[in-house]
Amino acid sequence: MAPPLSRRSLFQAAALAAAVPAASVVPTARAAAAVAESPTASAALPAPAAWTVKPFALDQVTLGQGLFADKRELMLDHARGYDVDRLLQVFRANAGLPTGDAVAPGGWEGLDGEANGNLRGHYTGHFMTMLAQAWAGTGEQVFADRLRTMIGALTEVRAALREDPEVLGTAGKFGTAVENVRGSYQYVDLPSGTLGAASAVTLSAWVKPTHDGNWARVLDFGDNTTRYLYLAARNADGVPRFAITTGGPGAEQGLNGTAALPMDQWSHLAVTIAGGTGILYVNGAEAARNTAMTLTPAALGTPVNNWLGRSNYPADPVFAGAFDEFNVWSRALTAAEITGLQGSRAADSAAGRGDLASYAFDETSGGTFADGSGRGLTAALRRTWGGPSHPGFLAAYPETQFIDLESRTSSDYTKVWAPYYTAHKILRGVLDAYLATDDARALDLASGMADWMHSRLSKLPEATLQRMWGLFSSGEFGGIVEAICDLHAITGKAEHLALARLFDLDRLIDSCAANTDILDGLHANQHIPIFTGYLRLYDATGEQRYLDAARNFWGMVVPHRMYGIGGTSTGEFWKARDVIAGTISATTAETCCAYNLLKLSRTLFFHEPSPKYMDYYERALYNQVLGSKQDKPDAEKPLVTYFIGLTPGHVRDYTPKQGTTCCEGTGMESATKYQDSVYFTTDDGSALYVNLYSPSRLNWADKGVTVTQATAFPQEQGTTLTIGGGSASFELRLRVPSWATAGFRVTVNGRAVSGTPAPGSYFAVSRTWRSGDTVRISMPFRLRAEKALDDPSLQTLCYGPVNLVGRNSSTAYLPLGLYRNAGLSGDLLPSLTPVAGKPLHFTLDGTEFAPFHEGTEDPTHAYFRRSEPRVVFGGTDSGVANPAKSDGTTLLDEIWAAAPFAGKGALVARVRSTVDAWVAAGLLSAADGRTVVSTAQRATYAP
């Protein structure tokens, strides 16, 4: 392993690489022709040398019919049906490109979403990753085609962002008008002196608003927020307003209209000022008159900012819509002249063209506007934010969020909402598109984004970086380190590895590396994906603290902050270690957290193949992840939960926050990669891990064999593996789940394999395998109750890998007793009644219990209150109250803790010894003790 590189040496290497001409990432002829016509033509991401275990590519594992394939098919409806032009709309708008009739998605992925869409672009990245995985997993051409469409569009967007904006022509009132696409941040910049310090003036414009944002300016001429005049399409009351001031907003002299301008229709606005009187005209009719307007343009002198569509108040929206004809006269036109402007161009009216400025927007080319006044005041189309700092910049909003973050000391997501998180999703999406289709345009986009980020972040002081990444929400950067490390594995560019190191959050790394738990109060999903990235940095640099930090961090969450379904967090945050019952709410278990913990567990396994990581993986996958997807198709929405409330009677919300949240994004990804961890191989190919019991087929090309798994798991309590193809020698490592306490039996070609598989381990079968060899695994389920760490009476039911939830509309915890018919094995299942015709469904005390993975809208109880008021054995009630110790442990708890029992005699002996101890401790009377023992002797037990 290479020695660790210091951050300084990485910067030096990056600088050296930048100084030497490098092979640029450009489309090859093959990629440009888009020849990747099957998932087997995808590019390969090299596995790090540090991995002792390696995964198979998605296209090497095919899902068979069953629970996972059914859930995936529901998501593929969305992948096939959603209009990708809607996702691209916000990118095109930001670049000033035509958006056609596409409507931006709602929720977080649009200008009108939460925090004004400050996260837009993230969902597009998720969608591309989903398409890439769907293409690899199914081979359906539609997914590759949609990816190429999106990559082509994003390539055009980046090219447009590199250049000055160009006019978008649209049908005008009289000819061609200029369109300002909402979200483009574009405006018309007029030369200084446009107003000519006139003592009388007429301003005239045709406008077609496409958005009803208040205070968007038709025009604004001024120096700042003290000296200006403006004409707004809508004021706070939604009607047009003109104002002029030399003393700020409190000193404005104004004119207010009486009715709102219609959306998507042409309206004419005109203002005249002369002799102390100002008049506002709307569509040729006088709308307002002010006879006390003492200010004229002459009072403003020569304003610096002369804008159409932009305000001198930075928080005001940029005008969205179209302009046709803008004229300025150095006199007040008469009412008749204003009326004459309604039916013809100014040039053809009695007023003639404006003598101070006159723009007919069909007299233009590129990004400039010719002036017809004779004064030669050529105007230009500009962006409010100027332009990107680097040609690799790609986003659906301006670079201003990234710039603002660098000086921000507190979080305000209405101003800056996780720009590097959004950059991660886009980077991951285009990188996955490249890996899936070998389209080098996608790699060029990914490499350019990393180059741009490096150009920004490498210039910042270390203290600034630490402050940025420590900010809640604003500084969140998701899994960007992992994506950059993956990119570096392809490009080999030194600055890409240096960039990954710039996201080090030293306080978090150092604390976790020292196994010091500082998670209380942290935003969960802001930090989980960081550690997957740090593992990849360990792979690239060999720096041990990254590995130690990731490993210890995982142990701080599992099981110390984990709910029974595998999820974590409450209201997106972590609370104190081992507080489970005390954190249950309607906003527990954010779905993104489960997605990222699965990814972290998987990556840790590659370094240390401990079965605990795959035990967790199975728990979270079979329960929270599957259960977060609603069981119905929908082309428009992914139907994935944000939070999964664990409060009694909670009903899952599959369309949270108007759609397009982070969890819906990761939900799309989860549903198209269910097969990614079923099988792993050792780095030398000597062993095959079978981690998950899922119907699937592995094409192990390196060995020349296939492995087909046939099972209805978890409805079936076992699975069958069949070897196909040729012959090969390898060790088959079968995961023995930690819950498999009722046995784990393996046969090969009908013959039992010797050995005693231990729960929570791998059972190895080594031989030379031949086509037709069959491995049969039997793993009976038992029902168990798992206790909340901070309240043993609050419990959740698990049957094998399946979390069972009660379906009941009560909003109080259900009191349930489970020992009444417990079997000698300790299995609690005999206390429940199976529901005929509904596998994995049971009833208890009138409530139906069903698998958590069923994506219904039933009110559910994931946790219940354990209640064993009397001592009951095998359905026989002793009539004796079930006593408890000060810590809540009851007599029955202590008796059944010794299960399984070899027979009834062993159980009775345990009852007698426990009763004697409790009587001696004064916790139970001798008479009641004798009754308990005799009841145990009389009862009949299930095995």
Distance CA 183, CA 165 (A): 13
The DSSP line for 599-651 is HHHHHHHHHS--HHHHHHHHHHIIIIIHHTB-SS--SS---B-S----STTB-
**CB 318 within 8 Å of CB 384:** yes
**What are 7-30's pLDDT values in tens digits?**
333 333 333 333 333 333 333 232
pTM: 0.93
| 163 occurs within a structural domain | no
CATH number at residue 313: 2.60.120.200
- CA-angle at 563, arms to 547 and 615, nearest 5°: 55
Distance CA 92, CA 470 (A): 32
**What are 914-936's pLDDT values in tens digits?**
999 999 999 999 999 999 999 99
Distance CA 212, CA 234 (A): 7
The DSSP line for 205-231 is EEEEE----TT-EEEEEESSSSSEEEE
Nearest to 80 by CA among 151, 153, 146: 146
501-535: burial string, b at 16+ Cβ within 10 Å, e else: bbbbbeebbebbbeeebebeeebbbbbbbbbbbbb
Nearest to 58 by CA among 678, 693, 720: 678
* Tally of domains within the chain: 3
| Res. 307: pLDDT tops 50 | yes
- Same structural domain, 349 and 245: yes
**CB 706 within 8 Å of CB 697:** yes
* Cα dihedral 246, 250, 252, 253 sign: negative
SS3 289: strand
SS3 26: coil
DSSP E strand boundaries for 718-812 = 718-725, 728-736, 745-748, 751-752, 761-769, 774-778, 783-788, 791-799, 802-807
**What are 563-597's pLDDT values in tens digits?**
999 999 999 999 999 999 999 999 999 999 999 99
**What are 357-411's pLDDT values in tens digits?**
999 988 777 899 999 999 999 999 999 999 999 999 999 999 999 999 999 999 9
User: What's the pLDDT score for residue 38?
Assistant: 42
| Structure token digits, residue 120 | 């837009």
**CB 9 within 8 Å of CB 542:** no
Instruction: Provide the β-strand partners of residue 340.
Output: none
Tokens 């929206």, residue?
Answer: 317
Identity of residue 586: A
- Same structural domain, 879 and 755: no
| 236 occurs within a structural domain | yes
Q: If DSSP states are collapsed to H, E and C, what string results for 790-811?
A: CEEEEEEEEECCEEEEEECCCC
| 494 occurs within a structural domain | no
Tokens 């939830």, residue?
Answer: 805
- Same structural domain, 892 and 774: no
| 148 occurs within a structural domain | no
Distance CA 487, CA 498 (A): 12
Among 383, 417, 436, residue at a domain's last position: 383
| 251 occurs within a structural domain | yes
**What are 456-470's pLDDT values in tens digits?**
999 999 999 999 999
* Cα dihedral 385, 386, 390, 393 sign: positive
Among 778, 800, 819, residue at a domain's last position: 778
Tokens 């490109």, residue?
Answer: 97
Nearest to 660 by CA among 888, 389, 396: 396
Distance CA 694, CA 279 (A): 76
| Res. 312: pLDDT tops 50 | yes
DSSP code of residue 439: -
Distance CA 493, CA 450 (A): 10
* 940 burial level (CB within 10 Å; 0-12, 13-18, 19+): exposed
* 871 burial level (CB within 10 Å; 0-12, 13-18, 19+): buried
Among 727, 762, 778, residue at a domain's last position: 778
DSSP code of residue 462: H
CATH number at residue 770: 2.60.40
| Res. 237: pLDDT tops 80 | yes
- Same structural domain, 197 and 341: yes
| Res. 31: pLDDT tops 80 | no
Instruction: Provide the β-strand partners of residue 523.
Output: 573
Contacts of 23 (CB under 8 A, 6+ apart): none
Residue 548 backbone phi and psi in degrees, to 5: -60, -45
Nearest to 534 by CA among 548, 520, 522: 548
| Structure token digits, residue 505 | 């959050």
**What are 119-173's pLDDT values in tens digits?**
999 999 999 999 999 999 999 999 999 999 999 999 999 999 999 999 999 999 9
| 319 occurs within a structural domain | yes
**CB 596 within 8 Å of CB 525:** yes
- Same structural domain, 773 and 883: no
| Res. 790: pLDDT tops 70 | yes
**What are 617-662's pLDDT values in tens digits?**
999 999 999 999 999 999 999 999 999 999 999 999 999 988 899 9
How large is the greatest C-alpha to C-alpha distance in the chain, in angstroms?
114
Distance CA 575, CA 886 (A): 26
| Res. 703: pLDDT tops 80 | yes
SS3 285: strand
Distance CA 619, CA 528 (A): 17
Distance CA 150, CA 442 (A): 10
- Same structural domain, 758 and 897: no
User: What's the pLDDT score for residue 45?
Assistant: 85
User: What's the pLDDT score for residue 598?
Assistant: 98
Identity of residue 729: S
Nearest to 663 by CA among 572, 791, 566: 572
| Res. 897: pLDDT tops 50 | yes
| Structure token digits, residue 268 | 């004419």
Q: Which of 104-118, 382-396, 705-719 has the lowest mean pLDDT?
A: 104-118
Distance CA 520, CA 553 (A): 12
- Per the prediction, the chain carries an average pLDDT of 94
- Same structural domain, 331 and 210: yes
**CB 671 within 8 Å of CB 71:** yes
- Same structural domain, 248 and 375: yes
Question: 43: pLDDT confidence band, cut at 50, 70 and 90?
Answer: low
User: What's the pLDDT score for residue 627?
Assistant: 98
User: What's the pLDDT score for residue 37?
Assistant: 40
Instruction: Provide the β-strand partners of residue 629.
Output: 640
- Same structural domain, 877 and 762: no
SS3 254: strand
Distance CA 668, CA 636 (A): 12
- Same structural domain, 739 and 881: no
- Same structural domain, 881 and 740: no
> Dihedral (C-alpha) 723, 727, 728, 732: value to the nearest 10 degrees?
20
**What are 845-856's pLDDT values in tens digits?**
999 999 999 999
Distance CA 854, CA 271 (A): 64
| Res. 1: pLDDT tops 90 | no
User: What's the pLDDT score for residue 887?
Assistant: 87
Question: 106: pLDDT confidence band, cut at 50, 70 and 90?
Answer: confident
Neighbouring C-beta atoms of residue 898, cutoff 10 Å:
15
Question: 39: pLDDT confidence band, cut at 50, 70 and 90?
Answer: very low
**What are 249-277's pLDDT values in tens digits?**
999 999 999 999 999 999 999 999 999 99
SS3 655: coil
| Structure token digits, residue 807 | 């379906």
| Res. 3: pLDDT tops 90 | no
- Same structural domain, 228 and 354: yes
Cis peptide before 297 (omega within 30 of 0): no
Host domain of residue 693? 679-713+718-778
Instruction: Provide the β-strand partners of residue 735.
Output: 762
Q: How many residues does the chain have?
A: 943
| 576 occurs within a structural domain | no
Distance CA 478, CA 553 (A): 16
Distance CA 76, CA 101 (A): 25
* 635 burial level (CB within 10 Å; 0-12, 13-18, 19+): exposed
User: What's the pLDDT score for residue 42?
Assistant: 54
Distance CA 618, CA 565 (A): 10
Mean pLDDT for the stretch of residues 806-814: 98
Distance CA 117, CA 153 (A): 20
The DSSP line for 127-171 is HHHHHHHHHHHH--HHHHHHHHHHHHHHHHHHHHHHS----EEEE
| Res. 2: pLDDT tops 50 | no
| 197 occurs within a structural domain | yes
Distance CA 719, CA 66 (A): 13
Question: 34: pLDDT confidence band, cut at 50, 70 and 90?
Answer: very low
User: What's the pLDDT score for residue 366?
Assistant: 85
